[in-house]
Amino acid sequence: MKIVKEAKTFNQVDTELLIVGVQKNCDHIKGWNNFISFYGENVEEWIRSGDISTERKKMTKIPYTGLNQKIKRVLFVGLGDTKTLTENELRETFGLVGKQLRALKTNNFTIWLESFTASPIDEQTIAFLFAEGAGLGFYQVPHYKTTSNEVDVYMDEVHFVTDGDIDEIAASYEVGKIYADAVNEARSLVNLPPNLLTATDLANYAEQLAKQYDFEIEILNKADLEELGMGGILSVNKGSTEEPRLITIKYQATEKWEDVVGLVGKGVTYDTGGYSIKSKTGMVGMKGDMGGAAAVLGAMKIIGELRPNKNVVAVIGSTDNMISGDAFKPDDVITTYSGKTVEVLNTDAEGRLVLADAVTYAKQQGANYLIDVATLTGGVITALGYDKTGSLTNNEAFFDSFIEASIETGEFVWGMPLTERDKKRIRKSDIADLNNSPGSDGHMIFAGGFVGEFVGDTPWIHLDIAGTSDASSPYDLGPKGGTGVMVRTLATFIERLGEQLN
């Protein structure tokens, strides 16, 4: 999408669609009288009668029959009382606008920025939120149907009616677009069928990303992992005919490789549960078990575009978890890359084994802080539902900074406790240092806490996105399917840390 030009007046609008925000009290908007003169006084009567709704997130399409022959229709977007309008609500509203744009098959349009302003939301912020929200709402899940003759549409052109600084507005818009594009790429990775996204395919995608943004990248294959003794990821991979991969991407922003944030993603491309096999219904959707890897790669795309002043290393452990005569099994004892041994009590608790090796490797690559992201447990859904990401931490100050970023992006994160009693249960085994499944009670805490056993004193945040990485039905900012959750929060957090160094 690109900005074509700005219009100072409505008569200069050069697109078929004009997008206008309508509030409960529109008359205080600068330029509202000019809009009435342009469209006609009947607009105010339609608003009073409810034919044009001012209710938040309500859309009203009205044909335009005035003097500007370019404009064919106006999309009125309800904002409600803007005294209570938040940035997140405006982002979600713009997500619904994006859905309307796709439904209308409109590839160029004009938005009147002033009509969406609400204290303290200025035109630059509106431009950012529009690009992000509409870009997310416009997204459609790729499909493989052979019967569709519809030509795909794209948001190719955007025009603004504004008397503000168009360069600053354009810059804000471009950043919002970068965020939306990165989330949508992460969504598409999650939505790929497992036969089209193996660990090798995921590594190939990471290589393309690294080449695009001049990142340093390292891909370790099965032989490399065997040489290093990465028994966590290798044990999960034992039942598969597909080789595993350990992907490391480095973004160096400063002269010295120091004060590095490590982003670690679970990249299990399909999870049968192994010999602790899932039910037939529980197995459907397990193509999305690499949602943590997708989140990390999406964040790295934003980092590559915006180049924040913060060193970042991304590590992704990728394999599938299959069943064969060679597959690992309950009662096995494995040795992880750290040297710690694990008694396997549940082969469906495989993600934490992959992450154990990945966080250890991230520390070896210089990570001074760690954030791991994983579709790790059904327990987080039982505890928090499908709209909240569960988290654990060993450093409250680090976590508080991250929460500020999550509030800014509107991605809800909730901290769970990790007590000494929990840690003792993870360490309870007659024959090994740890066990990988202490029980179903507190499942989310035990899974994340297991990863924490490999972190040491490094400030660490664990994010369990099992409930938030996939939407079972359409929502304001997207369709059913992969959500790309945590892409925006991870990138925003890294940006914030970079700004603190400037």
Residue 177 among known ligand-binding residues: no
Indicate whether 151 pLDDT > 70.
no
Query: Which among 278, 423, 425, 427 is annotated as catalytic?
Result: 278
pLDDT bracket for residue 28 (50, 70, 90): confident
Sign of the Cα torsion 373, 377, 381, 384 reads negative
Whether the predicted pLDDT of 148 surpasses 70:
no
Residue 271 marked as a ligand binder: yes
> Has 266 been labeled as part of a binding site?
yes
Is 66's pLDDT higher than 90?
A: no
Which of the following CATH numbers is that of domain 2-183: 2.60.40.420, 3.40.220.10, 3.40.50.740, 3.40.50.300?
3.40.220.10
Q: What is the mean pLDDT of the chain?
A: 95
Residue 354 has pLDDT above 90, yes or no: yes
Please determine, for residue 149, whether its predicted confidence score (pLDDT) is greater than 80: no
What is the band of 24 on the pLDDT scale with cuts at 50, 70, 90? confident
Strand order in the sheet with 157-161: 2-7, 157-161, 108-112, 17-23, 73-80, 59-63
The answer to whether residue 230 scores a pLDDT higher than 80 is: yes
The response to whether 430 counts as a known ligand-binding position is: no
Q: What's the rounded mean pLDDT across residues 37-48?
A: 90
DSSP structure class, residue 286: G
Residue 8 known to be catalytic: no
3-class state of residue 348 by DSSP: coil
For the cut 70, the answer to whether the pLDDT of residue 321 exceeds it is yes
Confidence band for 152, pLDDT divided at 50, 70 and 90: low
Q: Is the pLDDT of residue 331 over 70?
A: yes
Residue 310 annotated as binding site: no
Torsion of CA 294, 296, 297, 298, to 10 degrees: 80
Of the two residues 158 and 303, the one the predictor is more confident about is 303
Q: Is the pLDDT of residue 457 over 80?
A: yes
Cis previous bond, 438, omega within 30 = no
Alpha-carbon distances, residue 181 vs 178, 427, 488 (angstroms):
5, 42, 11
Does 268 have pLDDT greater than 70? yes
User: How far is residue 101's CA from residue 89's CA, in Å, rounded to a whole number?
Assistant: 19
Q: Which CATH number is 197-329+351-424+443-501 given?
A: 3.40.630.10
Provide the 10 A C-beta neighbour count for residue 421: 9
Q: Do domains 2-183 and 197-329+351-424+443-501 have the same CATH topology?
A: no
- The residue from 352, 363, 388, 488 that is catalytic is 352
Give the per-residue pLDDT at 299. 98
Instruction: Report the alpha-carbon distance of residue 283 to residue 304 in Å, rounded.
Output: 35
Q: What is the mean pLDDT of residues 356-381?
A: 98
In sequence order, the β-bridge partners of residue 414 are 390
Give yes or no for residue 186 having a pLDDT over 90.
yes
Out of 101-105, 181-185, 305-309, pick the least confident: 101-105
Count H helices and E strands in the chain, helices first. Answer: 16, 19
Domain spans in the chain, listed from the N-terminal domain onward: 2-183, 197-329+351-424+443-501
Residue 3's pLDDT band, with cuts at 50, 70 and 90, is: low
User: Burial, 148: exposed, middle or buried (Cβ in 10 Å; 0-12, 13-18, 19+)?
Assistant: exposed
**Under 8 Å between Cβ of 136 and 482:** no
10 vs 302: CA distance, rounded Å? 34
Length, in residues, of the chain: 502
What is the predicted pLDDT for the residue at 249? Answer: 99
Confirm if 79 and 26 have CB atoms less than 8 A apart: no
* Helix, strand, coil fractions of the chain, as percent rounded to 5: 40, 20, 40
- Reply yes or no on whether 352 is catalytic: yes
The three-class DSSP label of residue 395 is coil
Q: How far is CA 4 from CA 139, 159, 165, 309, in A?
A: 21, 6, 15, 30
For residue 2, pLDDT over 70 is answered with no
pLDDT of 1 > 90? The answer is no
154 has pLDDT over 90: no
> What integer pLDDT is reported at residue 8 of this predicted model?
83
Instruction: Identify the H or E element spanning 444.
Output: helix 443-452
Give one DSSP letter per residue of 75-89, joined into a string: EEEEEE-TTS--HHH
In which residue are the tokens 């890294």 written? 494
- Lookup result for tokens 């991407």: 249
Largest CA distance in the chain: 83
Confidence band, pLDDT 50/70/90 cuts, at residue 119: confident
